[in-house]
Structure 1
């Protein structure tokens, strides 16, 4: 049988040089993320369902990417919606009428 090289003994205490190194910060779980509910102003706290909840019962889901959307939703006015619809129809008509055919032909010919 081959001889095994002796391994270094386990050191429970850091060396003097290791003690001089900066120590990592202690990490404690957060109890608050310091956000206010946009609906009622109460503090938002993490819940078990990957959401932030306030005492008023409002809940905001945490996205897969890790963000929470807290901005209030702004509904478009009827005038803004009509303008958006007009722009969409005009864009569609432009493309359907061949609005970029010359550019497309030039690019594909290169």
Structure 2
């Protein structure tokens, strides 16, 4: 793992600093040790992660869909919003690290870290960029990061732990949250009876972040994706609907024009 990134990590047991040790480990001064997987990520969950995250099939679908450029507008918007930041950029629930890699490409002064619960995702994220690292941790728990030491925190369709985000962000840091608009993937939701965006989602977002953050900007992103049959199966397979629908049950006339509609909100710590 990139040594510059390790410097930002903290032991999930005692909160001390971590250093690379022998035999592919990270160790703290109190002797707590954490193995580095062969692919390069560290498991810093300390046995407290209550779930395993996305499956290998879901991660493969996400990697394929993102590599095709269908969500490139999200990566570009995040990179623009991170302009001028220096230090550490953390992507919570960052999956394969695709969005973070674009941010790092645009800003050489940043180092990056993907935090996710999925081991298949972390195997890819650990190799997403040479200035990035990847750790396994629960987004709803305490992140293995120092207090007020993170410059940019990315949250793309991921859990939002307002209190913990506030703890790790610097006073001048920024939180960039991407959420789906109500008509995101509308053609697929209607045609395949997929899970739709919860109408109370915005209220929950505000309730979770309001005590800790102030909204500084809001930007809507909309574009049309022309998807063939395989790409329709891929976008369904990478999201929450993958838990409820098998790829073989997807039957829509293709190619199909599908709406992509998301919102990028930028917050600053209160």
TM-score range relative to shorter protein? 0.3 to 0.5
Alignment TM-score, normalising by the size of structure 1: 0.38
- Identify, as 1 or 2, the structure richer in strand: 2
Q: Which has the larger radius of gyration?
A: 1
More relative contact order in 1 or in 2 (CA 8 Å, sep 6+)? 2
Alignment TM-score, normalising by the size of structure 2: 0.16
